[in-house]
Structure 1
Amino acid sequence: MGDVGAGNWCLIESDPGVFSELIRGFGATGVQVEEIYSLDDESFTPLKPVLGLIFLFKIDKAAETKSEGALVQDSRLDEMFFAKQVIHNACATQAIINILLNVSNDGLDLGDNLKAFKDFTKSFDGQTAGLAISNQEQLRSVHNSFARHQVFEIEEQTQAKDEDLFHFVGYVPFNGRLYELDGLQEGPLDHGAVDNDKGDWLTLAREVLQKRIEKYASSEIRFNLMALITDRRAKYEKEIEELRQKTGGIEDNDETMIEMARLQSLLDAENSKLKQYKTDNVRRRHNYIPLIVNLLQVLAEQGKLDEFYETAKKRTEELKKAEMKLK
């Protein structure tokens, strides 16, 4: 079985449960990641305050699909954290770190490791900061804890030349401007002025994302957007406690009881979601290969392996034909 070796970084699934656990693994607390399915304002409102956005898209060489942000090359680089991606497959962690180290919010606690890393890289340029990430063992270890088990190690040079490559970038407001933090660029990309206090940076961010998605026209529909937000459980627990203190712990009217029930329901939903995230992440890490090998052996002994193989082969061909019709 191929394993992720020292110095190598695995591919990361675009999933809010994975990203939330990555952040906790890095030592940061007070935030979580939620998936966004639409760029409508209604999709963002329940999540506010949104601290940053993580966008996944397919990389291509077409000039028209590139970002329109202006490359930052002035003294703003001294105030922001930006790391270039110098590690293959590390763009997920790269996007998270680029966002976290530029967020200013009382709810976010970076933790000792990220605080020390931010101080250590304070005077680094993008290339050097990227190299610093590559040498940060805790970041690599947490990142690679999501490596999928493989029966064989597939060498990069044997992969198909036309294989689709996807990339994570971050969007974050900083000192009154919206920035795109893309580790494949030479520096942060400035998308314009925003009012951080009013939280209207999302309006501009949605416009930027919508415009970029539309550039792909009908050639690509595979995009993913996630939001870095404050910890919902902490928010609801605080509101429940404030309501109890306000009423002296006595829920003696319908309005108070309804509001308490609403907050408790939201808190229960978050706890349930977190529990499901943990279950899903355990399954992602589990090595199913011995089970699969044993299953194949049993099917072979029962003379059913060829039948299952032909059925799977036929189904795969049908799916390929259906996919070709959609293109």
Structure 2
Amino acid sequence: MATEPTNAEPQGTAVSPAASNKKYFVPLENNPEVMTTLTHKLGLSRTLQFHDVWSIDDPDLLAFVPRPAYALLLVFPVNATFAKFRAEEDADKPDYAGSGEGEEVVWYKQTIGNACGLMGLLHGVSNGAARAQVQAGSDLDAFIKQAVPLKPKERATLLESTEALKTAHADAASSGDTAAPAADADVDLHYVCFVKSEKNGHLYEMDGGRKGPLDRGALKADEDVLSPVALDKGVRAFLKREEQAGGGDLRFSLIVLAESLD
């Protein structure tokens, strides 16, 4: 089974096109420099940055990533294998309705087409230890504080109407290494974010296109999102499903939020 992620080009979303008034963002490239610049512009402390993860199996390559790892962004192909798994797993789940400081994690419902990169980023900085590194008074700080008391539908409306997010995202989408597709382009790659809740110590798969946050199980106090247990519950589960389905589409790529090297 291939477990070394590749560098993917600009990515999109699994949210299906809907009405003509649906909002779209230009897809973000899964590039650590792009994501770092965007988070810093919004208000994340410069003590954190995104890093490439070149392998999840080679200890020498994994050692280049500073630890602890606060959030892991995975880009993967949206194909029949994933669509079948998602439909089956979500079938009996109620729509998430959590809100407030009592939530185990802060989850955002995605209603903007091709904005899954931004959703992954927001999930990464709104949860776990990274949240304490959001600078007071910044655009990101203001957004999270407004979002936390709201239900998912109202959070989505807030996200759609927050001009600072829209502007910063547009700047980031035009700064990648590859030419960005049109905002409403039909793309087949999608972001999810893995975070560790500081409330219960569990690993959560955060995908705004699902019915809510997905609890993937407990992690020990010294385990982060790149620990072997977390990788087995998260990234390797995606790879295993693709392998078992006989698929050869392994356009997986990973970047991680951790301490800055500067």
**Structures share a fold, TM > 0.5?**
yes
Residue 167 (1) aligns with residue 211 (2):
no
Q: Which residue matches 1:31?
A: 48
- Amino acid in the other structure paired with 1:220: D
CA RMSD of aligned residues (A): 3.1
Measured against aligned partners, the alpha-carbon deviations of 1:29-69 in whole angstroms (never above 9, x if no partner) come to 12100111211262444421100100001112435554969
For residues 136-171 of structure 1, the C-alpha deviation after alignment (integer angstroms, 9 at most, x for no partner) is: 11111011013449xxx9695xx7xxx651111100
Alignment of 1:244-255 (within 5 A): none
- Cα distance in 1 for partners of 2:145, 2:110 equals 19
Aligned partners of 2:140 and 2:203: how far apart in 1? Answer: 23
Q: Which amino acid aligns with 1:20?
A: T
Q: In 1, Cα distance between the equivalents of 2:112 and 2:123?
A: 14
Secondary structure of the 2:158 match is helix
Higher relative contact order (CA 8 A, sep 6+): 2
Structure 2 counterpart of 1:223? 252
What letter corresponds to residue 143 of structure 1 in structure 2? Answer: H
Three-state SS of the structure 1 residue aligned to 2:172 is coil
**Partners of 2:99 and 2:148 within 8 A in 1:** no
Deviation per residue, 1:67-117 (Å, 9 max, x gap): 969969587874221111100111111111111011225972344222222
Identity, % of aligned positions: 23
2:77 corresponds to 1:58:
yes
* 3-state SS of paired residue (1:9): coil
Structure 2 residue aligned with 1:185, among 185, 210, 213?
210
TM-score normalised over the length of structure 1: 0.59
Could you tell me which runs of 5 or more consecutive residues in structure 2 were left unpaired when the two chains were aligned.
1-22, 176-180
Letter in 1 for 2:257: L
The change in CA–CA distance for 1:83 and 1:107 in structure 2 (over 3 A counts) is closer
Please state which structure has a larger fraction of its residues in helix. 1
Instruction: Indicate conservation of the 8 Å contact 1:68/1:191, yes or no.
Output: no
1:179-228 CA-partner distances (Å, limit 9, x unpaired): 00001011100000112x31255222211311211212243111111101
Kept after mapping to 2: 8 A contact 1:57/1:224: yes
Moved over 4 A (4+): 67-77, 153-156
Judge which range, 22-31 or 198-207, deviates more.
Answer: 198-207
What is the letter of the counterpart of residue 172 of structure 1? V
Paired residue for 1:9, among 25, 31, 42?
25
Determine if contact 1:52/1:227 at 8 Å carries over to the other structure: yes
Return the index of the structure with the highest Cα Rg. Answer: 1
Displacement of 1:13 in angstroms is: 1.0
